[in-house]
Amino acid sequence: MKAHNNNYRNKLTDQLVKEVASDNALDITYNKFPKSAVTSELKELGLLKWQSEWDSSNKGALTKSFFQK
C-alpha cells in the first residue's frame, strides 16, 4: 500500500504499535512453569503436610521410634 492512503487498519495498527512501545511492553515476564517444577513443589508440600500430621498424631509411638521423619 502506498503510504497509508488513509486506510483505517493501517492507522489502527500504527496506533497500537505506539501504545505497546510506550507501555514498557518489555517488562512482560514468562509466567509458565515446567511440569517438573510443579510436581516437585506439590511433592514437597505434601511431605510437609504429612510430617506435620505425623508429628501431631498420638498413635504409632512404636513406629515413630523407628521412623521419626
Predicted TM-score of the model (pTM): 0.45
Please write the tens of the pLDDT for every residue from 9-26: 778 888 877 877 775 555
Q: How far apart are the C-alpha atoms of 4 and 18, rounded to whole Å? A: 16
The 10 Å Cβ neighbour count of residue 64 is 13
Are the beta carbons of 44 and 36 closer than 8 angstroms? no
Chain centre distance of CA 2 = 45
Distance in angstroms (rounded) separating the CA atoms of residues 25 and 48? 39
Q: Give mean pLDDT, residues 35-50.
A: 92
Q: Is the pLDDT of residue 2 over 60?
A: no
Residue at grid coordinates 503510504 = 3
